[in-house]
Structure formats: C-alpha cells, structure tokens
C-alpha cells in the first residue's frame, strides 16, 4: 500500500484506486472503463477470462492482475489487497460512473475525506432499456468507496457480499448507474445461480424449506415490490421486476428443498426460506 493512512491537506483529493473484478466481460467492459479513467489507478482483477477481457483492459490503460476465483468475498478481498492506494472504489463491469458522481467523490474526499472511513451512494438500475426507480430494486444504496487504513473489507457468504469499514460512512447524492442484466435470459441465468448459492448459505445456517417459504414468500415479494415499494409507478417494467423478484424467492426456496434432499439429513427444525 503506497499511501496507507496518509491524510491530505483540505482541498487536495487523495489518490484513488478503482477495482473491477471480472471474468469474461468483453461485451460490457468497453463501456465501463471510459467512466473510470479519471481514477489514479484502474485495477482489473481477472478471475480467468478466455474472451479477450484482459486485452481490452490493457488497451484501455488499466492494470490487469490475474487472481483465482475463490468466491465473491475472498476474491474481492484479494483484489483489494492488490490496489496501490488507500482509498478504493469497487465498480462492476455492468456499472457506469457518471461524471457528476466522479466530481462528487473527488469533492468529498478533498473537503473532508479524513473524517470518513468510506462513502455510500445510490445506484440506479436499468432493465430492458427502462430505468427502475421504484419497487424491489430501489432505493439501492451501495457502500463501494472505502479506506483500507480504516478497515475497508468485504464480508458475507457465498453471495450478496457486504462491504464494511471501521468508522463513519458518508452518503453521496449522485447515483452509480447499473445495467445488471443483458436481457431476460441473463436475468434467469443469474437468478438461478444466486438463488442456489443463497439457499446453500441458508442451509448452512440451519434454515429449512417450508410451505410458507415456497408458496407465500414469493407472493409477498411480488406485492411488496408492486405496492409497498410502489413499483407500479414504473409501469410495465415495474410489474416485470416485481414478478421476477417473486420468481427469485421461489427458486431460492426450491433450491433449499433440493439441498435438503441432496444432504439426506433429517430436518431438525423448520424455518421459512
């Protein structure tokens, strides 16, 4: 770490590393990299691409490091250890950093960065060409900018990792732009993967499948997205997101039941998935 724990004079923004953890992102990385070129370092941590991702990153001026895939938490922490600077911003290949957010990050770090261990920001998702401003995917506040000397790290299970730091975290105004799925098929593929991983985490915690978790929880999530979180205000895309949210919860419960059968263990206690 080149500048660990260094406090810069007010008005001077400390150097910042941006990390992208990627694998086979040749189609999305070219759009993401131009939005992060303002950083003092752009580190692309590649976990085994075979589609030219590394070449694209190097041609864009990024530093490329090959690391093993050890799961979302361990791989992010390994990438974090390779950054050159104390302040780090994690950006995914399906995200874009608009100029307004870049300016806000720089301004906050230069004005009072020494007061904080990190920065959070809202994230605005787009799906099937439409912005999702309500429902289950909003508001989507992300903690992505942190200071390693203040314990910035990643924790969690197999999926849905959490970013942590030791100290106060400020909230920014401008959103990080997010295009999480290439199309509906991409959503269904990822939903199946994440639901399976989440079910494995829940099994390890002692949770078991139930009728309520399989049948009622998905319906609850659809209604929650549409009505409680006002997804209906987004029109057709809001309705789509609500039903896809319910589908994810159904898959998670179904995978949990499948895991129980695979393990062949008697159910000691039953909890809602």
Q: Using one digit for the tens of pLDDT, what is the confidence trace for 83-92?
A: 999 999 999 9
**Residue 255 predicted with pLDDT over 70:** yes
pLDDT for 1 equals 46
Cα separation, 154 vs 173, whole angstroms: 23
Residue with tokens 């370092």: 41
**Residue 112 predicted with pLDDT over 90:** no
CATH 3.90.550.10 positions along the chain are 16-178
Cβ burial, residue 253 (10 Å; 0-12/13-18/19+): buried
Confidence of residue 271 (pLDDT cuts 50, 70, 90): low
Residue with tokens 């062949």: 264
pLDDT for 265 equals 55
Confidence of residue 72 (pLDDT cuts 50, 70, 90): very high
The domain covering 16-178 belongs, at the CATH homologous superfamily level, to Spore Coat Polysaccharide Biosynthesis Protein SpsA; Chain A (3.90.550.10)
Residue with tokens 């780090």: 88
Q: Decide: helix, strand or coil at residue 107.
A: helix
Residue pair 151/165 in contact (Cβ under 8 Å)? The answer is yes
What integer best gives the mean pLDDT of the chain?
93
Q: Which residues contact 100 (CB under 8 A, 6 or more apart)?
A: 174
Assigned token pair, 124: 């605005």
**What percent of the chain lies above the pLDDT cut of 90?**
86
Residue pair 251/191 in contact (Cβ under 8 Å)? The answer is yes
pLDDT for 224 equals 97
The 10s digit of each residue's pLDDT in 203-253 is 999 999 898 889 999 999 999 999 999 999 999 999 999 999 999 999 999
Residue pair 92/21 in contact (Cβ under 8 Å)? The answer is yes
């Amino acid at each position: 770490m080149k500048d660990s724990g260094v406090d810069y004079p007010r008005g001077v923004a400390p150097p910042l590393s941006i990390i992208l953890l990627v694998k086979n992102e040749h189609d999305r990385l070219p759009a993401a990299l131009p939005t992060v070129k303002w950083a003092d370092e752009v580190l692309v941590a590649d976990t085994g691409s075979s589609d030219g991702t590394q070449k694209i990153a190097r041609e864009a001026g990024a530093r490329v490091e090959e690391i093993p895939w050890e799961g979302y938490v361990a791989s992010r922490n390994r990438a974090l250890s390779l950054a050159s600077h104390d302040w780090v911003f994690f950006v995914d290949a399906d995200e874009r950093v608009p100029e307004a957010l870049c300016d806000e990050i720089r301004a906050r770090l230069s004005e009072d960065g020494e007061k904080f261990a990190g920065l959070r920001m809202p994230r605005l998702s787009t799906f099937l060409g439409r912005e999702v401003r309500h429902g289950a995917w909003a508001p989507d506040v992300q903690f992505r900018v942190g200071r390693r000397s203040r314990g910035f790290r990643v924790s969690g299970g197999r999926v849905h990792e959490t970013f942590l730091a030791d100290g106060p975290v400020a909230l920014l105004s401008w959103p990080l732009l997010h295009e999480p799925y290439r199309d509906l098929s991409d959503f269904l593929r990822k939903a199946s993967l994440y639901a399976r991983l989440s079910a494995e985490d829940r099994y390890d915690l002692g949770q078991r499948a139930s009728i309520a978790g399989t049948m009622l929880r998905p319906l609850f999530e659809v209604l929650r997205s549409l009505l409680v979180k006002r997804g209906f205000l987004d029109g057709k895309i809001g309705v789509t997101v609500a039903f896809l949210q319910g589908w994810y919860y159904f898959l998670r419960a179904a995978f949990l039941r499948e895991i129980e059968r695979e393990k062949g263990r008697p159910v000691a206690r039953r909890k809602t998935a």
